């Protein structure tokens, strides 16, 4: 029998909770003070303690500390009077399994308790395994590697905006809060979602990213909830949905603003009930998934126009993070550029060392509509095009060189400004010139294909459907040979 101890000095609350949990099959005892609670723990074995944060003789923090010290295997859920993210972080860091806020909703309590028991059960099993010492170590090593690899790929930045972003990630990561990440395309929303996951207690569970922007109405339900073989025409195999895949971990939903109203309703139901059923199945699967969503449009606007459900928005919006556009991240632009230069050097077997002052000026003043993703592409391409040690304006896309003509170099331009104009490739100032656009597209395609085939020109020519000689000529024309 699963044993629970409720510690609450509001006797009526304790009694009601006790009755409700007993009806649901638990063996429940109650205590009305901290001292009484510790006494009860001494006399009986409890797997779980539900403890009110405010007690007459002590508080939840103190109780948690004592219980964790004396009964480390006992799970603790704290009941608090109000939702306070700082406190949630602190309690979870101290080892609380979770916390519930008042007013108490029976379903929510039961869900949290059931989840806690599942985890508790798993822990006991690991402890009792003969190779217990090896299993957790292995698990720890792999999750630590994941974290380390990600940390080496993620540039935190030093600008005010980046420091604030880092602070918010640190604050929300350890909790179970749903998070909305708002920001322009390419600002790093998915990277931040991953960072939250990897810094949360779920870090060794799956992180599943789902691009809702590309989902058709027909496919969406299947993608979210999965389906059984034969449940509709075309369902040739059983498919596991993204909710199920992410179970225990984090589900990241990108571009949620594009989901149809029906799917939004189904999503809300699943999130509320914490259960999922594959299409064509009657079996309900319990879910424990943290949801992080991203959008580059204003969801409030979607709500007003009746395109996005307000209840779903509030369900997701337990915490929101605003991603700064790259152009507002000051010197981070250069830190990121240098980071991408290092990666491109490794990928392309190059040894390009730095950016010229003109390139730095251009980067600091450019609009970066594609944000970090655009910078990453620009750096990859510039590294490929650079023969010497330093990336110069010549290696930047036409669009950027043209853009350069419209900005005033910043004060740290080092006096090299006058020479830059001779280095700028011949481009028309009209950015919408169709010929430029066509050239640009051709350029991008050639580089992409060359990379895909590891710079094998015969293969590249085949894919591009041109003869080798034409490819050579084109490569020469764009400085690639
Ligand atoms: N802080 C960072 N450090 C290094 N690379 C980053 C960082 N943030 C984002 N990137 C890289 O920039 C690219 C775009 O990032 P990401 O996909 O997270 O952006 P996004 O805002 O989710 O984009 P979209 O709106 O198009 O879905 C990715 O290749 C990612 O690896």
Within a domain: 146: no
Judge if the beta carbon of residue 155 lies within 6 A of ligand 1.
yes
Ligand 1 centroid vs 74 CA: distance in angstroms?
40
Q: What DSSP string describes 134-190?
A: HHHHHHHHHHHHHHHHHHHH-----SHHHHHHHHHHHHHTTS---EEEE--TTSSHH
Judge if the beta carbon of residue 436 lies within 6 A of ligand 1.
no
The answer on 346 and 417 residing in a single domain is yes
Please give the residue range of the domain that contains residue 236: 168-322
Judge if the beta carbon of residue 187 lies within 6 A of ligand 1.
yes
Task: Read off the tokens for 224.
Answer: 């979210």
Number of domains into which the chain is organized: 4
The answer on 295 and 197 residing in a single domain is yes
Q: Please give the pLDDT value at position 130.
A: 30
Q: Looking at the predicted structure, is the pLDDT value of residue 297 above 90?
A: no
Task: Read off the tokens for 433.
Answer: 């010139």
> Could you report how far apart the first and last alpha carbons of the chain are, in Å?
74
Q: What DSSP string describes 310-336?
A: HHHHHHHTTEEEEPPPGGGSTTHHHHH
Task: Read off the tokens for 207.
Answer: 């992180």
390 preceded by cis ω (within 30°)? no
Judge if the beta carbon of residue 185 lies within 6 A of ligand 1.
yes
The answer on 384 and 316 residing in a single domain is no
CA–CA dist 16, 424 (Å, integer): 77
Contact 6, 14 (CB under 8 A): yes
Give the closest residue (by CA) to ligand 1 atom 10. Answer: 188
The answer on 188 and 82 residing in a single domain is no
103 preceded by cis ω (within 30°)? yes
State the helix-helix crossing angle for 189-198 and 134-153, rounded to 10 degrees: 150
Within a domain: 289: yes
| CATH number assigned to the domain comprising residue 473 | 1.10.10.60
Contact 68, 46 (CB under 8 A): no
Of all residues in the chain, the percent with pLDDT exceeding 90 is 42
Judge if the beta carbon of residue 257 lies within 6 A of ligand 1.
no
Within a domain: 11: yes
Instruction: Label the pairing between strands 226-227 and 239-240.
Output: antiparallel
Ligand 1 centroid vs 389 CA: distance in angstroms?
27
- In the structure, what pLDDT confidence band is assigned to residue 244 with cuts at 50, 70 and 90? very high
The answer on 122 and 53 residing in a single domain is yes
| CATH number assigned to the domain comprising residue 178 | 3.40.50.300
Name the residue with higher pLDDT: 278 or 229.
278
Ligand 1 centroid vs 404 CA: distance in angstroms?
24
Within a domain: 478: yes
Q: Which of 101, 105, 50 is nearest to 80 (CA)?
A: 101
Average pLDDT over residues 74-80: 89
Judge if the beta carbon of residue 194 lies within 6 A of ligand 1.
no
The answer on 224 and 178 residing in a single domain is yes
The answer on 467 and 385 residing in a single domain is no
CA–CA dist 50, 92 (Å, integer): 14
287: DSSP letter = -
Average pLDDT of every residue of the chain = 81
Q: Which of 369, 409, 373 is nearest to 393 (CA)?
A: 409
Ligand 1 centroid vs 249 CA: distance in angstroms?
21
Contact 79, 58 (CB under 8 A): no
Within a domain: 140: no
Helices (H), 274-416: 299-304, 310-316, 332-348, 357-365, 371-385, 398-404
| Residue range 409-446, pLDDT digits in tens | 433 333 333 333 323 333 334 445 666 677 777 877 88
The answer on 358 and 245 residing in a single domain is no
Q: Which residues contact 269 (CB under 8 A, 6 or more apart)?
A: none
Q: Is 79 helix (H, G, I), strand (E, B) or coil?
A: strand
Judge if the beta carbon of residue 222 lies within 6 A of ligand 1.
no
Within a domain: 449: yes
Q: Please give the pLDDT value at position 129.
A: 33
| Residue range 302-326, pLDDT digits in tens | 899 888 999 999 999 999 999 999 9
The single residue listed with the structure tokens 């949801």 is 291
| Nearest atom (ligand 1) to Cα of 155 | 3
Q: Which residues contact 388 (CB under 8 A, 6 or more apart)?
A: 352
Average pLDDT over residues 179-194: 94
The answer on 172 and 117 residing in a single domain is no
298, 322, 346: which is the final residue of a domain?
322
Compute CA distances 161 → 63, 69, 169, whole Å. Answer: 38, 39, 12
299, 322, 345: which is the final residue of a domain?
322
383, 399, 428: which is the final residue of a domain?
428
Judge if the beta carbon of residue 58 lies within 6 A of ligand 1.
no
ipTM surpasses 0.95: yes
Within a domain: 105: yes
Choose which residue among 166, 252, 373 to substitute to test ligand 1 binding: the one with the highest number of ligand atoms within 8 A of its C-beta. Answer: 373
CA–CA dist 304, 310 (Å, integer): 9
Judge if the beta carbon of residue 150 lies within 6 A of ligand 1.
no
| CATH number assigned to the domain comprising residue 60 | 3.40.50.2300
| Nearest atom (ligand 1) to Cα of 211 | 27
The answer on 176 and 279 residing in a single domain is yes
The answer on 342 and 215 residing in a single domain is no
Judge if the beta carbon of residue 154 lies within 6 A of ligand 1.
yes
> The pTM is what?
0.62
The answer on 338 and 394 residing in a single domain is yes
Q: Is 349 helix (H, G, I), strand (E, B) or coil?
A: coil
- Which residues are bridge partners to 176 per DSSP? none
Give the closest residue (by CA) to ligand 1 atom 25. Answer: 185
Judge if the beta carbon of residue 159 lies within 6 A of ligand 1.
no
Within a domain: 147: no
Convert 124-152 to b/e letters by CB count within 10 Å (16 or more is b).
Answer: eeeeeeeeeeeeeeeeeeeeeebeeebee
């Amino acid at each position: 029998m699963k044993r629970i101890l409720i510690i609450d000095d509001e006797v009526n609350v304790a009694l009601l909770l006790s009755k409700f949990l007993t009806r649901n099959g638990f063996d429940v005892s109650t205590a009305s003070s901290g001292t009484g609670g510790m006494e009860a723990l001494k006399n009986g074995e409890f797997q779980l303690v539900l403890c009110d944060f405010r007690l007459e003789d002590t508080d939840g923090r103190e109780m948690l500390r004592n219980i964790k010290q004396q009964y480390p295997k006992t799970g603790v859920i704290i009941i608090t009077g109000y939702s306070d993210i700082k406190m949630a972080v602190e309690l979870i860091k101290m080892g609380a399994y979770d916390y519930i806020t008042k007013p108490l909703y029976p379903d929510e309590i039961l869900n949290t308790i059931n989840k806690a028991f599942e985890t508790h059960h798993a822990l006991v099993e690991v402890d009792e395994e003969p190779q217990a010492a090896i299993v957790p170590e292995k698990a720890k090593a792999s999750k630590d590697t994941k974290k380390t690899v990600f940390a080496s790929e993620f540039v935190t930045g030093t600008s005010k905006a980046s420091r604030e972003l880092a602070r918010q990630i640190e604050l929300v990561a350890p909790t179970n809060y749903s998070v909305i990440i708002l920001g322009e395309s390419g600002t790093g929303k998915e990277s931040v979602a991953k960072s939250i996951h990897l810094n949360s207690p779920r870090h060794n569970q799956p992180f599943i990213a789902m691009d809702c922007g590309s989902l058709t109405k027909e496919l969406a339900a299947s993608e979210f909830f999965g389906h059984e073989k034969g449940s509709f025409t075309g369902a040739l195999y059983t498919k596991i949905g993204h909710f199920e895949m992410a179970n225990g971990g984090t589900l990241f939903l990108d571009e949620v603003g594009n989901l149809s109203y029906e799917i939004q309703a189904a999503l809300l139901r699943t999130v509320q009930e914490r259960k999922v059923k594959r299409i064509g199945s009657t079996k309900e699967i319990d879910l424990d998934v943290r949801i992080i969503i991203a959008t580059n449009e204003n969801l409030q606007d979607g709500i007003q126009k009746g395109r996005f459900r307000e209840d779903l928005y509030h369900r997701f919006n337990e915490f929101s993070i605003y991603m700064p556009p790259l152009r507002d991240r000051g010197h981070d632009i250069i830190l990121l550029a240098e980071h991408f230069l290092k990666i491109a050097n490794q990928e392309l077997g190059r040894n390009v060392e730095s950016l010229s002052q003109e390139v730095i000026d251009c980067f600091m003043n450019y609009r970066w509509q594609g944000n970090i993703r655009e910078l990453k592409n620009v750096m990859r391409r510039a590294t490929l095009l650079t023969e010497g040690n330093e990336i110069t304006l010549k290696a930047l896309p036409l669009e950027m060189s043209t853009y350069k003509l419209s900005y005033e170099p910043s004060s740290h331009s080092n006096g090299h400004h006058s020479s830059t104009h001779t280095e700028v490739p011949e481009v028309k100032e009209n950015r919408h010139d169709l010929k430029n656009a066509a050239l640009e597209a051709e350029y991008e395609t050639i580089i992409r294909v060359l990379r895909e085939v590891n710079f094998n020109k015969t293969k590249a020519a085949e894919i591009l459907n041109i003869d080798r000689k034409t490819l050579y000529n084109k490569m020469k024309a764009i400085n690639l040979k």
